[in-house]
Structure 1
């Protein structure tokens, strides 16, 4: 059981480094992020602990799978603070304009809305069928609303001149 030697960071031309399944312990040296030509890297299934290296340079291109099997390794990403100068982008559907793969499946959204509407109507009808007091209040309010709407229309809509009754002047 050993640790990852810091001297590996001096191998500036290294392209691949696989240290998985070697029973390594300790922390991952932060100097490894200076390996700019590395394209393959893995330290999975060891006994490493501490924090993962920052995702800079080539380490930004690696998946989180390179750290698998190290239960004491903390690879949580820091919370990013939003930049007030950068506006968030919005999704406008796919390139063909069909909107597939968006945030909400619109067919399910419409079906859910329709089912909810029908359930609300059935609940109202059931309550009015069961309780006669609420049924009388419901029909009274409906009658008042219809009467109010009728007189509003009669009082505020102009009558066309060809339908006006001619009244002779005396």
Structure 2
């Protein structure tokens, strides 16, 4: 006996919830699998097994018992408030829909599901997506859409922490700016102190030694006289050239 559980609020019209393999009555079963809704009847139903718990407003952790259904071919748990993913033993699964409101991370054990053809965890999870190998190498970016906290090569988003480098960079920039200001302040202070010490040394030497004082004043007078005569000479030469071009 295989159980097909419809979404809440939906009913089968001419279908049945229970299928007996050796019944002589041809029954038609509508079943959602591989991102599509199909009708099945006849002997094919003996080889089908699936569970659809979507849109039932289920909450809490996904039972580990669901992960032990090794012969199940299709599972749809979308549109529920469920937590966690535990499907490591469902080796025959072909369609797995965990989209919308599933919390947690994608376990790497899912890459061992070699029969998986349709995989959808859109609008849910966080963390690193499984490595793109085996069946997971066939899934496209759309399978993970709507997950801003997922990362991996397929999503063109690095899983390394990007906040830390930016924080370090901004901190280093602040440190460099502070160091630059300190260097400028130290330079100005040392220059001012050195200049004041030099002037004070000159004044002390001139005050103590009269000979050097007279020599210094004589040199200053000569410089002043030379500058005055040079300025007057240039001034007169300029006006004379204006009068007598």
Interval containing the TM-score (normalised by the shorter chain):
0.3 to 0.5
The TM-score, its normalising length taken from structure 2, stands at 0.29
Q: In terms of Rg, which structure is larger?
A: 2
The TM-score, its normalising length taken from structure 1, stands at 0.41
- Which structure would you say has the larger RCO, counting Cα contacts within 8 Å and 6 or more residues apart? 1
